[in-house]
Amino acid sequence: MSSSFVRELLRLSALVLPIIQPCSAASLYSTYEFNPLEHLGGVAPYFEPQDPPTSPSTPQGCTASRAVYLSRHAAIYANDFDYEEYIEPFVSKLENHTTIDWTKIPALNFLANWEAPLTDAESELLTRVGRLEAAQLGVTLSFRYPKLKLPSRIWTSSAERTVKSAQSLARGLELNENGINVVSIYESEEAGANSLTPYKSCPAYSSSFGSEQSAVYLDKFTKPIVARLNAAAPEFNFTANDVYGMMELCGYESVIRGSSPFCDLNLFTPDDWLGWEYTADVMYHYNVGYGNRISGVVGLPWFNASANLLMGDASDEQDIYVSFTHRELPPMVFVAMGLFNNSEFGGSESAINDTMPLDRINYRRAWKSSNLLPFSSNVALERLNCSGSYGYDDGDYYRVLVNSAPQPLADCADGPGTTCSRAGFEKYVQDRVDMFQGYSEKCGVDYDNSTDTLSIYTDASVGNGTAVGKRYEAFPPHLA
């Protein structure tokens, strides 16, 4: 090799290497994307995480013959606790620090002209995005079950946000005006298991469960963020609660205004958001998840009643049942069903809390509130009639969808795809009943006439509800 060629090669290397060296394998080949709105737990707008990535289509040879849905209400302006504990204090603090020139602080310069998207009076109310989410679920059901008759009734707990969600779903699902009635079930504290908010009637449950544990990780993940923000704006004196509220505003402002500057990854990094998400996951784990011994007990009545609707033979019953509730009940149902259990393939139930450590994130966990509890999150139980499915006998099979993703059932996987045979499903349901029955006793109810069962779907005394109607007339009467 000539010396002149070597010299030229070295000269080119000197020019090229400084460009190549900073490049990592990730930057060359990465398809990495990160959306904070998919990591906001119960504050996330509805999305479908495809967890697991199983196909929502029915298995080959199978068609749905009945379905039962439980949905959380759609997007609201803010949860009252979140508003009072985090958002309102941050907004008030911002309004009181008028001497800070935010325009000179990168990533926070939007605060110079930013205005809060909500007031105390608006918290808990459904947003326009929320109405759209619920209506879209109605349209989705109409396409998912084209051969099933539309429901004559939809059930909902009595809060305004759940009622409005049910009405919006009816408008998206019904073909003709006044075709679907909404039945409101009072959110009583003495209804036993016979309501869509059974946790409110359970003295053994407290909404404060999980606060102590989540506070530990909140302090850990926000510590470097607080230091960074205070270095940029020392006069403001950012706190852990300020950071948590700012990150919540990413979700709440997005479902109010369509977007939020608090979602900017230049303000909070993907690792920051994963810390926020894990803090929420810890809280839900101890509040309504496997870390609370009462969760499965409270979730069982809805699951048992729904399973009985699926396995019933009465031809005059509805084909589709839909109910609306709050964020607490769906994860309690998941526990009753054994879904999203961190210990399912190892360890033991007694060590379940070890799967949610407070000093680091368990990135391999199955329990992710963002996947389980976005606004309008829903769980569905389906009965499928299968004929000609290769390798399986003809007959009824059962499966579960969570936000459209089919979920494998614990100890019941003898059908096509994630489905379970009739015999297998009956055994699975009985096993869960044996594990979690005894609502009144285990909740320690201190009132009369409690019940361990949910009967609102079959009890005629509940009534037929109220027709939804349309929000407007397409044409004035005199032009019709």
Encode pLDDT of 420-451 as tens digits: 999 999 999 999 999 999 999 999 999 999 99
For 173, the token pair is 């699902």
Identify the bridge partners of residue 398 per DSSP, sorted by sequence position.
383, 420
CA angle 168, 174, 179 (to 5 degrees): 105
Q: Which tokens go with 68?
A: 């039962």
> What pLDDT does 122 receive?
87
Verify cis geometry, omega within 30 degrees of 0, for the bond prior to 52.
yes
Q: Rounded CA gap, 123 and 101, in Å?
A: 30
Cis peptide upstream of residue 198 (ω within 30 degrees of 0): no
Q: Give the pLDDT confidence score for residue 123 in this predicted structure.
A: 86
- For the chain, the straight-line distance linking the first and the last C-alpha, in angstroms and rounded, comes to 92
Sole residue written with tokens 């009643």: 305
* Cα→Cα distances 122→41, 79, 119, 252, 257, Å: 21, 10, 5, 12, 14
- Predicted TM-score (pTM) of the model is 0.91
Could you give the CA distance from residue 327 to residue 347 in angstroms, rounded to a whole number? 28
Residues in the chain: 480
19-28, long-range: CB < 8 A, 24+ apart = none
The pLDDT confidence band at residue 346, using thresholds 50, 70 and 90, is low
For the residues 367-371, what does the mean pLDDT come to? 97
Q: Are 154 and 466 in contact (CB under 8 A)?
A: no
For the packed helices 240-257 and 88-96, what is the interaxial angle rounded to 10 degrees?
100
The C-alpha atoms of residue 329 and residue 307 are separated, in whole angstroms, by 16
> Confidence class of residue 454 from pLDDT cuts 50, 70 and 90?
very high
**Half-sphere exposure in the Cβ direction for 357 (13 Å, CA):** 6
Q: Which residue has the tokens 């002149």?
A: 4
Helices (H), 83-177: 88-96, 128-144, 160-173
Kindly report which listed range (227-241, 284-298, 309-323) carries the lowest average pLDDT score: 309-323
* Confidence class for position 13, pLDDT limits 50, 70, 90: very low
Assess contact for 99 and 93: CB atoms under 8 A.
no
DSSP run (H or E) holding 71: strand 62-72
Of the pLDDT bands very low, low, confident and very high (cuts 50, 70, 90), residue 316 is low
Residue type at position 326: H
Closest to 405 (Cα-Cα) out of 429, 383, 380, 384: 380
The reported pLDDT for the residue numbered 174 is 84
What pLDDT was estimated at residue 4? 56
Sorted by sequence, the CB contacts under 8 Å of residue 328 that are 6+ apart come out as 197, 199, 207, 287, 288
Predicted confidence at residue 6, as pLDDT, reads: 43
The stretch 289-317 carries a mean pLDDT of 92
Q: Is 392 helix (H, G, I), strand (E, B) or coil?
A: coil
Query: What's the pLDDT band for 49 if we cut at 50, 70, 90?
Result: very high
Mean pLDDT of 178-193: 94
What share of the chain has pLDDT > 90, as a percent?
84
Assign 396 to helix, strand or coil: strand
Reported as a single tens digit per residue, the pLDDT across 72-129 is 999 999 999 999 999 999 999 999 999 999 999 999 999 999 999 998 888 889 999 9
The sign one gets for the Cα dihedral 281, 284, 289, 291 is: positive
Q: What is the pLDDT of residue 343?
A: 86
- Is the separation of the CB atoms in 446 and 189 below 8 Å? no
The answer, yes or no, to whether residue 47 has pLDDT greater than 90, is yes
pLDDT mean over 258-281: 98
What per-residue confidence (pLDDT) applies to 77? 97
pLDDT at 275 over 50: yes
